[in-house]
Amino acid sequence: MRLIRSLTTGAAILALTALAAQHLPNRKPSAADGKAEMEKVVRDYLAEHPEDIQRIVKDYLVRIRACLQEQIVELQKMRQATANPRQEPGDQE
């Protein structure tokens, strides 16, 4: 179901991009024009529908929960190692 929602959101963004392209002036657009216009359409859509991006991110984070938990453990280990540096043999304070 989540995949369908994600695909639906992606399809909506593509449809919005296609609609925006129809309303552009009739000139041969450069690749930069097309990219800039697409980014503007997506940016505007996301600004008007922040709940969609929040839902997409939440669904993604739920799917990769195990990966996030592993990363948190590694981050904690790194912080501990930084806070409590080991003394090398032969080092004396």
CB neighbours of 59 closer than 8 A, spacing ≥ 6? 2, 5, 6
- Look at residue 90 and tell me if it is in a domain: no
Q: 28-60: per-residue pLDDT in tens? A: 656 777 888 899 998 898 889 889 888 888 888
Residue 18 structural domain: 2-24+31-83
Q: Please calculate the CA angle 55-63-46 and round it to the nearest 5 degrees.
A: 25
Listed range (56-65, 74-83, 84-93) with the worst mean pLDDT: 84-93
Average pLDDT across the chain, whole number: 76
20 lies in some domain: yes
Spacing of C-alpha 50 from chain mean position:
13
CA distance linking residue 63 with residue 59, whole number of Å = 6
Total count of domains within the chain? 1
Q: Which pLDDT value is given to residue 1?
A: 45
